[in-house]
Amino acid sequence: MSFGDAEVVSASLPSFPADRSPAVCPAGAMSRIDGGAPLIDPDACILCGVCASRCPTGAISMMPHAVVDDTTRGAFPETSDVAYSDAALVALSAVPRTGVFLVESDAVVDDLRTKLLAAWGRMGDRFPDHLARNLLIAAGCGAAMRRKGDVFARMDIVLGAPWPDFGCAEAEFGDVAALDAPRELLDDAAVSVGRFGKDRLSLTTFVITDVLPNRRSEYWRIVQDIRNVLGIRIGTVTVLALCLLVWTGRRISDLPLDLA
């Protein structure tokens, strides 16, 4: 299971040096052997729900602490007959989707937090950008993350069609990194306006973080100062908020956001 190339590049800024990694799972929990069905490692899975939301047949479900039983069943033999699998895909794709993938609870949030930190340590410094990009795409937002090593574009993530018209986001985990994110978005805005000719006041900008900064944190004062002086509104979105959108099948454009 993977993203198409058109999904991971920016339709609103084609020249953006996007990382074209098609991986739907930023935690490396999904694998395929010899082109067979995707296998999911429940220990590595971070419960983001992106894979479940993209599965065309609804074959992926989310159950915290569940044991994956991938034993071959005689009643469900695997087949290499493409015609059979295509017919099954058409039939299952026509079934209406109802309900949610996962119901939020304190236990689920705690589990998500633990798995998130473990995946971050395992996957390295690109993990926040990769996770943020995938969640944004799953929530109906056009998103492309910067290619590793590129210093020309500066912004971590470029936003665009189908929502918003254009914007940029910084994915930062940890209190210290999140504190620097509003200033980094100022750099992003300067590059967007000066180098790419975008309109400053129509930019959609937000920070994606693992936890909200403390209410007394300098972060909120910086965000307010930027809004008051420059008219740039910086939103703050947590990973959990994006996960909730994916779990419930909603789109970020459906929310009463004041980000532009």
Radius of gyration of the chain (CA): 19
The region that residue 12 occupies, defined by phi over 0 for left and psi between -120 and 50 for alpha, beta otherwise, is alpha
Distant-in-sequence, close-in-space partners of 83: CB < 8 Å, separation ≥ 6: none
Structure tokens given for 199: 């309109």
Rounded Cα distance between 29 and 43, Å, is 8
Question: How many domains does one find in the chain?
Answer: 1
Whole-angstrom Cα distance, residue 157 to residue 225? 23
Identify which of 192, 124, 128, 194 has the alpha carbon closest to the alpha carbon of residue 164: 192
Residue among 47, 17, 43 at smallest CA distance from 138: 47
Q: In the numeric block, which tokens belong to residue 31?
A: 């694998």
- What are the backbone dihedrals phi and psi of residue 139, each rounded to the nearest 5 degrees, phi first? -95, 15
* pLDDT tens-digit series, residues 49-108: 999 999 988 888 888 766 666 666 676 677 778 898 889 889 988 888 899 999 999 999
Instruction: Identify residue 48 by its one-letter amino acid code.
Output: C
Indicate the pLDDT class of residue 260, thresholds 50, 70 and 90.
very low
Cα-based distances in Å from 13 to 24, 95, 145: 22, 36, 12
The per-residue pLDDT for range 102-117, each reduced to its tens digit, is: 999 999 999 999 999 9
Residues 156, 80: Cα–Cα separation, whole Å? 41
Residue 39: what pLDDT? 86
Report the half-sphere exposure of 234 (CA within 13 A, side-chain side): 30
Given a cut of 90, is residue 131 above it in pLDDT?
A: yes
- Whether 206 contacts 169, CB under 8 Å: yes
Q: Could you list the residue range(s) of the whole structural domain that residue 54 is in?
A: 1-260
